[in-house]
Chain A
Amino acid sequence: MVSPLPELVIAEFHKKIKDAFEVFDHEANNTVDVREIGTIIRSLGCCPSEGELHDLIVEVEEEEPTGYIRFEKFLPVMTKVLLEKRYRPIPEDILLRAFEVLDPSKRGFLTKEELIKYMTEEGEPFSQEEMEEMLSAAIDPESNSIRYKDYIAMMVVDDG
């Protein structure tokens, strides 16, 4: 198929963004709670870091932050993000290498304590809730460790 015209691409992006926004627009008044913006952006295929997310929010917030983000402000910013293909998702093998960095002796797994330590002390640390949720799915209760290769394989399939 011939590569579509830019206007069509943008129109399609607009519809996608609108759909995603609406899922979280509980009061059907074209606003969402600012705390959901991250979820919306990620659901559109982007994978920003918390820092990048913070910057984006600053762009779409009102001058006087109200706690709500309006669709009119969100749409152009998000369209640009999609057009520029920013915050691309992380390929599986890069992810695997990240785990391997944390497992220098190449055991093939991380202990629960190690995972907790890294996830809550390094990078952009997890909240307790995030940590618990990850542990519930990742940790093999018998060995009390995460076999990260299997874990990635499981999560990636699920992601659809």
Chain B
Amino acid sequence: MGTLKAHRAVTSMEKSSSPSPFRDGNTEAQEGKIHERCPSPPPSPGGPSLLARISTHFTAFKAAALIQRWYRRYMARLETRRRCTWRIFQSIEYAGQQDQVKLHDFFSYLVDHFTPNSNHERDFLNCKFTTERFLQDSEMEKGSDYESIEVPDNYTGPRLSFPLLPDHATALVEAFRLKQQLHARYVLNLLHETRKHLVQLPNINRVSTCYSEEITVCGDLHGQLDDLIFIFHKNGLPSPERAYVFNGDFVDRGKESVEILMILFAFMLVYPKEFRLNRGNHEDHMVNLRYGLTKEVMHKYKTHGKKILKILQDVFCWLHLATLVDEKVLILHGGVSDMPDLELLAKLDRHKVLTTEVVVSTLGRKTRRQKGKQPAKEKAARVPAPELALRPGRLHLGSRGGTGPAAPPASPAAAARPGDPGLDGAGSRQAPQEPGGGEPPALHARSRLGSPEPLQPTQEAWKQVVDILWSDPMAQEGCKANTVRGGGCYFGPSVTEQLLQKYNLQFLIRSHERKPEGYEFCHRRKVLTIFSASNYYEVGSNRGAYVKLGPALTPYIVQYQANKETHRLTMRQRISRVEESALRSLWEKLFASSLDLLGEFKKHDADKTGLITLSAWAEAVESVLHLGLPWRMLKPQLVNSSTDNTLEYKSWLEDLAKEQLSRENIQSSLLETLYRNRPNLEAIFRITDSDHSGFISLDEFRQTWKLFSSHMNIDITDDCICDLARSIDLNRDGHIDINEFLEAFRIVEQSSTEGDTSDCPQATNTDNSGCSKPSKR
């Protein structure tokens, strides 16, 4: 700790008065001064040549020192840029997660406040929220129908036959490396076999180093196939002597989640004892809706995608919750709470935990609005948000009737069975451990159409799983709610210590958080975070790592960066590339908030000079974006700094817009709002498109947009929306392709040549014909 890089300790010396290029006596020399630490010149009996030589030596010494000093500063600035870039990505990502929270809020809000004006609208709403459940029931039954899927003769991709052999799995890796795609029939077959296999396995998987000499634990992959292939290449393929544990988050964000799943499941079937998979928070269909897996599956498998997603949803629920090595090392995805209960974790019906998406604020509002059905649950002290541990699923219609989409029956056969025993066999209605004595609200939901209740795990069991999958370690002591993620907690060193002592463990391996070096120890080396998706944000942004454990259980870390290119780039180039990408995202965010920014800037410009100080700029930007970024550090990249510390904010905003838009007339506030809400919109549309057809009808679009805008406080008339919808439906068939809709709102030109946009209000700039501006929030 605390040691500086070694530098030669030399005795100090008074400033020499010998002539040198650095002491010209003018201002330059002042700036070129260096505090020198050289031995004093010895007396010179040897005459001028020796003296001259000594002078030269000093000069070379000083020159070198100067260069080094300059270079170190340069590197420091580079390092700072790297950190800032990292921060940008992180804060945008967390902001994205906050968006997810807002999405939940939106639906919740809708459900509570939206009064359907007509039966049509009411039906629409209910339909949206109940359809999925019924669809699932019938689809599940038909799901095993993969045998009827024909594989065309011209199919050149990999073929699987069961039972799977090691060669098949290896061939799969090779095929994917060559960018082939596995046919839907084999995908479904594999998934069904996987499910059959997983169902027999326990919640907590136990592995021993007696059998396989070494165990390799890998962290988040997030759809980055290159990293998986690299790991197998560098560490070796799985085998009875080479055990692997993959610690969750195999999917989402990266573009090859499907391929990763196929490989992981294949190896698991081939080496059931040695190849294990833990569930992560992304092995969850609700999370997948927003973060990419759903999209990827639908795009790659189109008509069969639906089936694949359905069974995948089930498979995810059957994954292990945790792995224990030699009863000493606990491996799980997120972390622990200060009330860990491994016994409960081992006993609970993990299959019933369909999704762990929990939202603190939403649930908070929900419970208070249950018309006094039960008081807000007070868990034992430490969690400030008592509503954390609530019912599964994103939303439900509570007293309105109907059940939430995420709370369908746990298994296909259970669909029509009323009165199914709950977790503890005695009915799941009671949450016995709850001091508040309340029950999860969803259990009160009466289905509007009289179908059976969803089966819920107890609240306590639910919470254990959420904690396992979502928690993060922190340096401070204690345990508090993880408000950034919206679920799980932040746990301190003593929580870890408590856990290790209680269960006689040596340390904890977890993932869930990206680290620049691919791994990080904390809590006095009792917690190891391992993250295997290298270049997570952008090429060169971080390394990935995996950890090997031998019988001695000493962790041995291997780092990598799965991209040949980066090795050849200098640090400067790597950082520039990553930085560019981060800045682009930041520009986008700034642009999307142009209107709000203008408002804030004006507040700082009481005299209406059109100028604000750079300090005011930093404050304003933070107050609008809430990204918690060091804006003053980023200023050089974002603002062409004027010499006298002021900024002409209007032209800065215009420059922002110019950067973002290719055509200047696409500058409606509607567009801006849509752009800002793009990620949310996408998720909303996917939910709206309940049959995953990739199309939504104009009517559905209208309804959804109306609901969305009423929540987001946007004042938009019906006509405006209709026009919007019509303008997007270019082929006039009454359906909107989701992708095309979103494309329309990226930075592309509105095709004024089509003629329909000229009718559309948003083509005009500020003259509000038919559309009012979004109200400031």
Contact = CB atoms under 8 A, between A and B. Distances in A.
Interface of A: 1, 12, 15-16, 19-20, 22-24, 27, 29, 34-35, 38-43, 46-52, 54, 57, 65-67, 88-91, 93-95, 97-99, 101-102, 104, 118-119, 122-127, 130, 133-134, 136-137, 155, 158-160
A94 B30 CA distance: 11
Leading 10 A-B pairs by shortest Cβ distance: A123-B65, A42-B76, A67-B1, A123-B64, A67-B2, A122-B64, A43-B80, A19-B630, A101-B63, A98-B63
A42 B73 contact: yes
Contact of A43 (B8, B615, B633): B633
Contacts of A99: 63, 67
Contacts of A40: 80
16 contacts: A12-B615, A15-B618, A19-B630, A23-B84, A42-B80, A50-B72, A52-B35, A93-B28, A95-B66, A104-B56, A123-B66, A123-B67, A124-B37, A133-B570, A134-B71, A158-B572
B233 interface: no
Given A51-B37, A97-B22, 5 more contacts: A39-B76, A49-B65, A101-B59, A102-B67, A130-B75
Interface string B1-13: 1111111100010
A51 B61 CA distance: 14
Given A90-B66, A137-B570, A158-B572, A43 B2 contact: no
B753 interface: no
Given A19-B630, A19-B633, A118-B60, A101 B21 contact: yes
Contact of A27 (B72, B476, B645): B476
B603 interface: no
A10 B4 CA distance: 29
Nearest to B619: A15
A11 B467 CA distance: 43
B72 A91 contact: no
Interface string B49-84: 000000010011111111111111111110110011
A133 B31 CA distance: 27
Contacts of B71: 126, 130, 134
B372 interface: no
B755 interface: no
B163 interface: no
A51 B633 contact: no
A38 B76 contact: yes
Interface in B336-352: none
A113 B74 CA distance: 22
B149 interface: no
B384 to A, nearest CB: 18
A6 to B, nearest CB: 15
B68 A123 contact: yes
A48 B4 CA distance: 15
A43 B28 contact: no
A88 B33 CA distance: 9
B745 interface: no
B632 A16 contact: yes
Nearest to B22: A94
B624 interface: no
Contact of B2 (A34, A46, A49, A98): A34
**Chain B interface residue count: which class?**
35 or more
Nearest to B59: A101
B34 A49 contact: yes
A34 B2 CA distance: 6
Contacts of B22: 94, 97
B738 to A, nearest CB: 39
Contacts, number: 174
B63 A90 contact: no
B571 interface: yes
A57 B63 CA distance: 24
Contacts of A15: 615, 618, 632
Contacts of A158: 572, 576
A125 B7 CA distance: 7
A15 B619 CA distance: 10
A1 B73 CA distance: 31
- Residues of A contacting B: mostly: helix
A23 B630 CA distance: 7
B625 to A, nearest CB: 15
Contacts of A51: 7, 12, 35, 37
B32 interface: yes
A156 B144 CA distance: 64
B493 to A, nearest CB: 12
A19 B87 CA distance: 12
B70 A127 contact: no
Nearest to A43: B80
Contacts of B618: 15
A116 to B, nearest CB: 11
Nearest to A12: B615
A52 B33 CA distance: 12
A158 B37 CA distance: 30
A29 B37 CA distance: 36
A122 B2 contact: no
Contact of B7 (A19, A39, A101, A124): A124
B636 A160 contact: yes
A47 B570 contact: no
Contacts of B34: 49
Contacts of A50: 5, 7, 68-69, 72
Contacts of A90: 31-32, 66, 69-70
A148 to B, nearest CB: 9
Given A19-B630, A123-B65, A158-B572, A91 B60 contact: no
A155 B60 contact: no
Given A12-B615, A19-B631, A23-B87, A94 B4 contact: no
A91 B77 contact: no
Contact of B64 (A39, A119, A137): A119
Nearest to B20: A101
A16 B475 CA distance: 26
Contacts of B570: 133, 136-137
A110 B34 CA distance: 23
Contacts of A34: 2, 4
Contact of B73 (A47, A125, A126, A127): A47
A91 B22 CA distance: 12
Residue of B67, B79, B474 with most partner-chain A CB within 10 A: B67
Contacts of B636: 160
A122 to B, nearest CB: 4
Contacts of B77: 42-43, 159
Contact of B60 (A38, A41, A49, A122): A122
Contacts of A20: 80, 630, 632-633
Given A101-B60, A159-B74, A23 B65 contact: no
A95 B633 contact: no
Contacts of A93: 28
B419 to A, nearest CB: 50
A95 B572 contact: no
B40 interface: no
Contacts of B84: 23
Nearest to A36: B79
B8 A124 contact: yes
